[in-house]
Structure 1
Amino acid sequence: MIAEKGQTYKKCAAVIHVSPQTFTKKMHGSSMFCIEEANNLGDFLGMTGKEKIDIFLS
């Protein structure tokens, strides 16, 4: 979805206030997104509530 929206890991990391390295770890499952991070990232990417649930909670 990040690529579909024309965004980068670096921009997404800035939105949730983490380093690009930490964001990469979260994207690859080495670290978890907290609820606030997932919500903010979802908002930034224009995700619906259902998309957020499907992606972050499944």
Structure 2
Amino acid sequence: MDVNAHTRDPREHVNEEPRNDLGDLLAGFFGMTGFMTVVFFGMVIIKFLSE
């Protein structure tokens, strides 16, 4: 039986778009932490101004 299966060895995979996963993770973590810090202090200021 002849089957035309074009399989590839996954070890031959070439990463077309190299990424810096650790850098992306740290940027996202510290970016979100910074944003939430700004939101927190903004809410504290609004609370004290509304009293």
Normalised to the residue count of structure 2, the TM-score between the two structures is: 0.25
**Structure possessing the higher radius of gyration over alpha carbons:** 2
Greater RCO between the two (CA within 8 Å, min separation 6)? 1
Structure whose residues are more often helix by fraction? 2
